[in-house]
């Protein structure tokens, strides 16, 4: 296949999403779907699908796995023995620590061992924003022997991570933290820092050495199962055995991106160091936050520019003196792009607006896609809420809403359908009522999972039948009052149709 034709013309046909594909475009898409020479893979940072020759994909992946310091290739017999050893270690862990784990978690962990294929699978996404592009390695543990244990560890780490002083969950949360502090806008600047290949550069021995005493002694970890957590992390991080095609590998160092606790493990590992150094630099840091491998700080300048420069260099040296991690820093500036927000220090405080990556293709679902009508409504309401949360100035907010409207028009949506949805979204964004994420503790939900089809009964019709025949049938007991054969009340009082 001609490389120029492949990388440009076919890609444009794939992404055009016009309401009616031409016969030529349909043939191209069918050929792409059935091609043995090409692979479609996602790009990093949600920048859209990519197409690459299969041989180049395999070569890029094997080149990454050839790093002998990080990966070790296994022959099939050794790989099989290794994965059996992992299973035995998990069984041993469950036997030793079953008293430290809840009954429900024990049941889940034992059931998670009932898998046909015990191996994780390795693949890459494309960092197309890099020149030249680079692979982003991911090890998918879904359906593997370690997936259940990874889910349990992630569940245990999450509440600890949320207590870290540097923790932020989103750009909106970062803005909330900026609003909660006092600072002189004329005497502060932003900086950001980015960890170089954070996942693979975390030294496993050092991480476990740091985390075990932290689990035991830190007030943030009160009530956690320190010994069980440490042993589980030892299994997950030291025994990551996976497949790529017909080859088998073991990760010798770092943590695999894709394993359930990977993000929280990385966040907590470096968070233990931040607790120590943040206090030392308290006179220079008005605020310091981090989202996994991306950090941001509000720097208080020293009156002497020379001392100020030395202090900032000392912070960088301190952050780079923990384990094997290396951080790259931006210069101090009054304006910075961080995650999906652009921040600017003005005489009256910090102003924010959306930061949108130049390569973003905005591939929203086209109107002919067979999705429930509520998907478009939810997209517009969610995006509008995000725009209101991340923009402080009205003109920029209106421009962001206008761009969203035009992008949906370019995907083929009728303005007659879009306008009332935008009006509703703006009304909801102005409203002070509880958001959809605020859960009702009195609700006991059940979920009806369906594959959506446009000709099926609507969700409203299904809900009406549910209320009439199950929830409160005439002359019959209500569903929440029914009991199981063991005498436990069902309590279910709401059904959610989940497409």
Output the tens digit of pLDDT for each of the chain's 499 residues: 334 444 444 455 455 544 456 788 788 878 888 888 999 899 988 888 889 999 999 999 999 999 999 999 999 999 999 999 999 999 999 999 999 899 999 999 999 999 999 999 999 999 998 888 899 999 999 999 999 999 999 999 999 999 999 999 999 999 999 999 999 999 999 999 999 989 989 999 999 999 999 999 999 999 898 999 999 999 999 999 999 999 999 999 888 788 999 999 999 999 999 998 988 999 999 999 999 999 999 999 999 999 999 999 999 999 999 999 999 999 999 999 999 999 999 999 999 999 998 888 999 998 988 888 889 999 999 999 999 999 999 999 999 999 999 999 999 999 999 999 999 999 999 885 444 444 455 788 999 999 999 899 999 999 999 999 999 999 999 999 999 888 888 889 999 999 8
3-state secondary structure the chain: CCHHHHHHHHHHHHHHCCCCCCHHHHHHHHHHHHCCCEEEEEEHHHCCEEEEEHHHHHHHHHHHHCCCCCEEEECHHHHHHHHHHHHHHHHHHHHHHHHHCCHHHHHHHHHCCCCCCCCEEEEEEEECCCCCCEEEEEEECCCCCCHHHHHHHHHHHHHHHCCCCCECCCHHHHHHHHHCCCCCHHHEEEEEEEECCHHHHCCHHHHHHHHHHHHHHCHHHCCCCHHHHHHHHHHHHHCCEEEECCEEEEECCCCCECECCHHHHHHHHHHHHHHHHHHHCCCCEEEEEEECCEEEEEEECCCCHHHHHHHHHHHHHHHCCCCCCCEEECCCECEEEECCEEEEEECCEEEEEECCCCCCCCCCCCCCCCCCCHHHHHHHHHHHHHHHHHCCCHHHHHHHHHHHHHHHHHCCCCHHHHHHHHHHHHHHHHCCCCCCCCCCCCCCEEEEECCCCCCCCCHHHHHHHHHHHHHCCCCCCCHHHCECCCCCECCCCEEEEEC
> What per-residue confidence (pLDDT) applies to 383?
96
> What per-residue confidence (pLDDT) applies to 14?
54
> What per-residue confidence (pLDDT) applies to 464?
95
In whole angstroms, what is the distance from residue 451 CA to residue 367 CA? 18
Burial bucket for residue 207 (CB in 10 Å: 0-12, 13-18, 19+): buried
The pair of structure tokens assigned to 10 is 């076919």
3-state secondary structure 424-446: HHHHHHHCCCCCCCCCCCCCCEE
In whole angstroms, what is the distance from residue 259 CA to residue 204 CA? 15
Which residue's entry shows tokens 């960088």? 316
In whole angstroms, what is the distance from residue 496 CA to residue 446 CA? 6
> What per-residue confidence (pLDDT) applies to 467?
94
When computed from its CA atoms, the radius of gyration of the chain, rounded to whole angstroms, is 26
> What per-residue confidence (pLDDT) applies to 110?
96
Which residue's entry shows tokens 């840091």? 285
Pairing of strands 349-354, 285-291: unpaired
Picking from 58, 56, 52, 55, the residue whose alpha carbon sits closest to that of residue 39 is 52
> What per-residue confidence (pLDDT) applies to 432?
58
In whole angstroms, what is the distance from residue 215 CA to residue 265 CA? 12
In whole angstroms, what is the distance from residue 404 CA to residue 408 CA? 6
> What per-residue confidence (pLDDT) applies to 30?
83
Q: 74 - beta bridge partners?
A: 248
Contact 390, 176 (CB under 8 A): no
Burial bucket for residue 180 (CB in 10 Å: 0-12, 13-18, 19+): exposed
Predicted model pTM: 0.85
């Amino acid at each position: 296949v001609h490389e120029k034709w492949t990388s440009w013309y076919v890609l444009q046909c794939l992404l055009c999403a016009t309401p009616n594909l031409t016969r030529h475009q349909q043939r191209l898409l069918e050929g792409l779907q059935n091609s043995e020479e090409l692979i479609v893979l996602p790009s990093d940072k949600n920048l859209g699908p990519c197409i690459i020759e299969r041989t180049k994909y395999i070569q890029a992946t094997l080149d990454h796995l050839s790093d002998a310091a990080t990966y070790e290739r296994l022959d099939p017999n050794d790989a099989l023995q290794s994965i059996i050893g992992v299973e035995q270690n998990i069984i041993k862990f469950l036997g030793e620590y079953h008293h430290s784990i809840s009954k429900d978690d024990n049941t889940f962990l034992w059931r998670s061992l009932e898998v046909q294929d015990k191996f994780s699978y390795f693949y890459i996404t494309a960092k197309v924003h890099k020149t030249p592009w680079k692979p982003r390695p991911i090890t998918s543990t879904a359906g593997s022997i370690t997936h259940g244990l990874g889910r349990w560890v992630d569940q245990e780490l999450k509440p600890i991570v949320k207590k870290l002083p540097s923790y932020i969950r989103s750009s909106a949360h970062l803005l909330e933290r900026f609003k909660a502090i006092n600072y002189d806008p004329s005497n502060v600047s932003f900086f950001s820092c980015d960890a170089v290949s954070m996942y693979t550069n975390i030294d496993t021995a050092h991480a476990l050495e740091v985390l075990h005493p932290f689990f035991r002694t830190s007030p943030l970890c009160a009530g956690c199962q320190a010994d069980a957590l440490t042993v589980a992390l030892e299994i997950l991080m030291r025994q990551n055995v996976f497949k790529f095609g017909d080859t088998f590998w073991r990760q010798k160092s770092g943590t695999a991106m894709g394993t359930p606790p990977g993000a929280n493990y990385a966040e907590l590992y470096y968070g233990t160091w931040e607790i120590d150094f943040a206090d030392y630099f308290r006179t220079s840091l008005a605020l310091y936050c981090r989202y996994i491998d991306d950090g941001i700080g509000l720097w208080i300048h020293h009156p002497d520019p020379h001392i100020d420069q030395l202090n900032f260099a000392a912070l960088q040296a301190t952050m780079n003196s923990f384990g094997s991690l290396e951080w790259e820093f931006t210069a101090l500036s009054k304006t910075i792009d961080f995650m999906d927000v652009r921040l600017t220090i003005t005489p009256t405080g910090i102003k924010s607006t959306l930061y949108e990556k130049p390569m973003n293709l905005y591939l929203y679902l086209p109107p002919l896609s067979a999705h429930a009508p509520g998907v478009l409504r939810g997209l517009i309401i969610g995006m509008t809420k995000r725009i209101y949360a991340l923009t402080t100035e009205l003109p920029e907010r209106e421009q962001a809403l206008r761009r969203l409207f035009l992008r949906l028009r370019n995907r083929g949506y009728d303005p007659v359908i879009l306008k009332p949805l935008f009006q509703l979204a703006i009304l909801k964004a102005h409203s002070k009522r509880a958001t959809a994420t605020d859960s009702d503790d009195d609700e006991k939900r059940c979920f009806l999972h369906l594959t959506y089809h446009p000709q099926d009964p609507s969700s409203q019709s299904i809900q009406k039948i549910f209320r009439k025949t199950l929830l409160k049938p005439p002359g019959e007991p209500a569903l929440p009052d029914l009991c199981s054969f063991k005498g436990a009340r069902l309590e279910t009082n709401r059904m959610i149709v989940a497409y």
